[in-house]
């Protein structure tokens, strides 16, 4: 599917469906990037559905605790807890995943993301947005996979794994030279690929990651989906605001003209996590927009899309296996 910027901008004026609801009694919901914006609003919606436990994955303990207390006060949900995770640190991601050992996990929303200003690397040696938006996201999804699968088998439910993407993924592609490189992810880690389209590129990579996870878990009860919240007023654009000047003015004008509220965007996350409750298989491996299934970018579908996805996934599993030896085992155990 192709979708131009004009089409995406037109869709910003479409009616946003009401929030989906479900009975989450006894269930554990986990959402990263939960202290602000889309993650915070989605967490509030989940809190109103009576979960057995709602876990906010946040980088800042101060901001995370403030968010947890605010959710409790506004929803009356007393089972909100904070667990620290910094997606810019593989060690932090591993510790966060390990904290769920022996626990049930019914819904995991991989929501953490960043728009990087310029080329900046993490302590792990990866470009910041590539690690946070994609590599660490995939690592956390894989490390939580056994918890999700075990929960589905034990409680005869269909756990959900939601990877938050964006319609902006339609506007970019990944050069052939990346797929032809000895390590596509190491190639993407080079400074020359960090352009003004970098965030869009990471959202395309999220589509590939979702598709690979869906294929990996196709014979389990776990439903893997991805979605776009649309363009929303949130803290994701804080880099533009800090820049000020003409760039800041353009961003402010665009937000005023086009942006949905964070609450409206969060409804899309919630639908991916609890929508089609009576027929969850309908959403397996799908990309969602305004509660409807849409075809992803042409770059990510068909025979060529699968070829690209398989190249990226094989290399990603190799890189993540260096970070945590369990990754290779998890990928093998569920590959059929």
319: phi then psi, degrees, rounded to nearest 5: -65, -40
Catalytic one of 199, 231, 287, 334: 199
What is the token pair recorded at 277? 């409750």
Sequence-ordered strand ranges (E) for the chain? 28-32, 53-58, 80-84, 107-110, 160-164, 223-228, 286-289, 292-294
Instruction: Kindly state the DSSP code that residue 182 receives in the 8-state scheme.
Output: S
Q: How far apart are alpha carbons 105 and 238 in whole angstroms? A: 31
The Cα angle at residue 216 between residues 215 and 221, in degrees rounded to 5: 90
Chain-centroid distance of CA 142 in Å reads 13
Q: How many angstroms from the chain centroid is the CA of residue 151?
A: 20
Choosing from 203, 231, 234, 262, the catalytic residue is: 203
Cα 64 to the center of its chain, rounded Å: 18
Looking at residue 195, the DSSP 8-state letter turns out to be S
Q: Please say if 165 is a catalytic residue.
A: yes
- Which candidate in 116, 129, 165, 166 is catalytic? 165
Residue 314 C-alpha from the chain's centroid? 20
| Sole residue written with tokens 């996590």 | 273
- To which residue do tokens 């030896």 refer? 325
**For this structure, is 203 an active site residue?**
yes
Using alpha carbons, select from 206, 241, 242 the residue that is nearest to residue 226.
206
Active site residue ranges: 165, 199, 203
């Amino acid at each position: 599917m192709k979708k131009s910027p004009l089409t995406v901008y037109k869709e910003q004026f479409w009616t946003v469906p009401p929030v989906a609801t479900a009975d989450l009694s006894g269930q554990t919901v986990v959402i990263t990037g939960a202290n602000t914006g889309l993650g915070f609003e989605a967490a509030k919606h989940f809190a109103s559905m009576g979960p057995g436990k709602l876990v906010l994955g946040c980088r800042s303990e101060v901001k995370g605790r403030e968010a947890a207390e605010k959710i409790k006060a506004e929803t009356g949900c007393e089972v909100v807890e904070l667990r620290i995770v910094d997606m810019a640190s593989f060690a932090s991601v591993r510790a966060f995943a390990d904290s769920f050992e022996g626990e049930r996990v019914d819904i995991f929303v991989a929501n953490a993301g960043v728009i990087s200003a310029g080329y900046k690397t993490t302590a792990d040696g990866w470009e910041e947005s590539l690690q946070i938006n994609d590599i660490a996201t995939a690592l956390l999804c894989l490390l939580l996979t056994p918890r999700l699968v075990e929960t589905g088998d034990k409680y005869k439910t269909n756990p959900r794994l939601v990877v938050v993407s964006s319609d902006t993924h339609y506007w970019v592609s990944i050069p052939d030279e990346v797929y032809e490189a000895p390590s596509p992810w190491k190639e993407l880690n080079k400074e020359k690929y960090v352009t003004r389209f970098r965030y869009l590129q990471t959202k395309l990579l999220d589509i590939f990651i979702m598709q690979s996870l869906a294929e990996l878990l196709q014979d389990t009860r776990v439903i893997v989906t991805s979605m776009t919240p649309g363009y929303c007023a949130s803290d994701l654009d804080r880099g533009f605001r800090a820049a000020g000047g003409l760039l800041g003015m353009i961003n402010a004008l665009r937000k005023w003209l086009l942006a949905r509220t964070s609450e409206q965007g969060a409804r899309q996350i919630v639908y991916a996590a609890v929508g089609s409750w009576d027929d969850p298989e309908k959403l397996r491996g799908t990309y969602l927009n305004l509660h409807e299934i849409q075809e992803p970018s042409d770059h990510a579908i068909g025979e060529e899309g699968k070829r690209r996805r398989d190249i990226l996934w094989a290399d990603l599993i190799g890189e993540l296996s260096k970070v945590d030896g369990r990754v290779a085992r998890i990928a093998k155990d569920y590959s059929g």
